[in-house]
């Protein structure tokens, strides 16, 4: 990747985030420029953490802008990982950002521009359909549009301080859960299913898409998590499904206050380490990395039981010989290092360990579900801590490596 292009993909979004902070500062929604940048970066990175305690008191146009930053950030992320990076990067970097994290998917993108236009159409269609469904469910058009922005982008901003709990509507939470699930799917699969360039009847395309290893694992994890949460919530499986979709896809919308201790809290905590599918607007560690690591562990166990045997790691029904396991382990190590450093930053502000860990996971995983409705820690943060969290959210949105490489002096030397 050329240095000029690399500087553009880092500094361009960063400049947009700083410019987007101006409305928050001018409108008086926040008290300092630091808070304004924090709110803007949280939106563009689809993290969803907010320093505004009463978002319901904001002007509705400003709330729409908050949610719009998430919609634009989610779209930009998909474009970067699925359109630009696979064609611009080289070598291991290309494999890392091929949209499948080295999972051996077919190269189904003939040209970058047609694919980018297709992604925009699907992304916009999901947004419009969700907004219409929310209006039918009882929201006014501005709230419906705002929440469709935050759901489709798997961001999690709401126009109400209480989140979706404000509406007391089963229809609203159910529709948002479905939207979060669809937003967390790899957009390459949408392309394989609906693009006109693919030959064959629709049932055949659907059968091929359903063979995708990551999609099957994604659906399985959300289903099992929903069942477990439903049992811990006294048989409320609808709420369990909503929490499962909102947490795993890193959307993080809130429909009701959930206990921060007991079995429910344990399940929600482990879900913070999952993430959505690669090639989607969802963030986190990503399902594909866990699938690759799981298959590699199975392969190593088979080798131990049968030393003379020959075993092949298979993805999507085909043999896979890429560097996916090494890349997945490397990313997991970087992720945990940033969690550790962010816990230290939060603890330095005097926050208890449990709040420090939740705040660190929220920033590192771009998932405000880790914080829930708790704003205690955010009020304790020093300006230096807020800038660190801002940096972590930004780096995590790019999956760390591009930002770290941008800061590595040797990269800029010839």
- DSSP-derived secondary structure for 3-41: HHHHHHHHHHHHHHHHHHHHHHHHTTSSSSHHHHHHHHH
| Cα–Cα distance for residue pair 309/220, rounded to 1 Å | 30
Report d(CA 200, CA 181) in Å as an integer: 26
In 135-210, the DSSP E strands lie at none
Question: For 190, how many CA atoms within 13 A lie in the half-sphere containing its CB?
Answer: 24
Q: Would the pLDDT of 355 be above 50?
A: yes
Angle, in degrees to the nearest 10, between helices 353-364 and 383-397: 40
- Alpha-carbon span 82 to 84, nearest angstrom: 6
Is the pLDDT score of 73 beyond 80? yes
The one-character DSSP state at 80 is I
CA atoms within 13 A on the CB side of 166: 15
Helix 60-79 and helix 33-44, axial crossing angle in degrees, nearest 10: 50
Does 255 score more than 60 pLDDT?
yes
pLDDT of residue 235: 86
Measured torsion, CA atoms of residues 363, 273, 285, 373, in degrees rounded to the nearest 10: -30
Q: How far apart are CA 250 and CA 184, in angstroms?
A: 9
270 token code pair: 């482990």
**Radius of gyration, CA atoms only, the chain:** 21
199 has a pLDDT exceeding 70: no
Cα–Cα dist 144/133, whole Å: 8
Checking if the pLDDT of 32 tops 70, the result is: yes
Lowest mean pLDDT across 155-164, 181-190, 300-309, 365-374: 365-374
CA angle 338, 343, 348 (to 5 degrees): 130
Higher pLDDT, 329 or 351: 329
Helices first, then strands: H and E counts in the chain: 19, 2
pLDDT at 42 over 70: yes
Lowest-confidence segment of 147-156, 284-293, 304-313 by average pLDDT: 304-313
Residue 375 has pLDDT above 60, yes or no: no
Average pLDDT taken over every residue of the chain: 85
- Contacts made by residues 260-265, CB under 8 angstroms, sequence distance 24+: 260/354, 260/372, 260/374, 262/232, 263/232, 264/229, 264/232, 264/233
Instruction: Judge whether 217 and 316 are in contact, CB under 8 Å.
Output: no
Q: Sorting pLDDT into bands at 50, 70 and 90, what band is 107?
A: very low
- Assessment of whether the complete model's pTM goes beyond 0.85: yes
Residue 391 has pLDDT above 80, yes or no: yes
* 252 and 177 Cβ atoms separated by less than 8 Å: no
How far, in Å, are 109, 258, 282, 371 from residue 57 at the CA level?
45, 24, 28, 21
SS3 for 319? Answer: strand
Share of the chain above pLDDT 90, in %: 43
């Amino acid at each position: 990747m050329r240095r000029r292009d690399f500087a553009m993909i880092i500094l361009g979004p960063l400049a947009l985030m700083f410019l987007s902070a101006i409305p928050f500062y001018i409108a008086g929604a926040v008290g300092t420029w630091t808070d304004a940048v924090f709110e803007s970066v949280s939106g563009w990175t689809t993290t969803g953490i907010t320093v505004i305690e009463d978002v319901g008191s904001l002007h509705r146009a400003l709330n729409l802008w908050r949610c719009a930053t998430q919609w634009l950030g989610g779209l930009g992320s998909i474009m970067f990982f699925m359109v630009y990076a696979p064609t611009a990067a080289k070598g291991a970097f290309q494999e890392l950002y091929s949209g499948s994290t080295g999972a051996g998917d077919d190269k189904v993108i003939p040209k970058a521009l047609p694919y980018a236009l297709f992604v925009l159409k699907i992304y916009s269609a999901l947004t419009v359909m969700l907004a219409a469904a929310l209006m039918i469910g009882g929201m006014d058009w501005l709230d419906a549009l705002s929440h469709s922005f935050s759901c489709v982008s798997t961001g999690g901003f709401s126009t109400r301080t209480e989140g979706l709990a404000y509406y007391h509507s089963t229809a609203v939470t159910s529709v948002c859960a479905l939207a979060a699930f669809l937003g967390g799917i790899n957009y390459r699969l949408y392309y394989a299913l609906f693009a006109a360039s693919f030959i064959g009847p629709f049932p055949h395309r659907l059968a091929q898409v359903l063979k995708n290893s990551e999609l099957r694992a994604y659906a399985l994890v959300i289903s099992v998590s929903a069942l477990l949460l439903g049992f811990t919530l006294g048989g409320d499986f609808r709420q369990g499904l909503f929490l499962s979709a909102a947490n795993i896809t890193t959307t993080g919308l809130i429909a009701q206050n959930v206990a921060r201790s007991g079995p429910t809290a344990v399940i929600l905590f482990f879900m913070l380490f999952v993430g959505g599918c690669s090639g989607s607007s969802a963030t986190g560690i990503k399902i594909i990395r866990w699938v690759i690591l799981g298959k590699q562990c199975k392969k190593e166990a088979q080798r131990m039981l049968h030393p003379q045997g020959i075993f092949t790691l298979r993805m999507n029904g085909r043999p896979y010989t890429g560097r996916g396991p090494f890349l997945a382990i490397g990313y997991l190590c970087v992720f945990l290092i940033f969690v550790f450093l962010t816990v230290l930053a939060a603890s330095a502000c005097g926050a208890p360990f449990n709040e420090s860990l939740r705040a660190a996971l929220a920033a590192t995983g771009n998932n405000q579900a880790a914080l829930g409705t708790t704003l205690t820690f955010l009020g304790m943060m020093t300006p230096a801590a807020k800038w660190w969290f801002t940096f972590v959210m930004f780096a995590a949105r790019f999956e760390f490596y591009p930002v770290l490489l941008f800061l590595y002096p040797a990269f800029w030397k010839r």
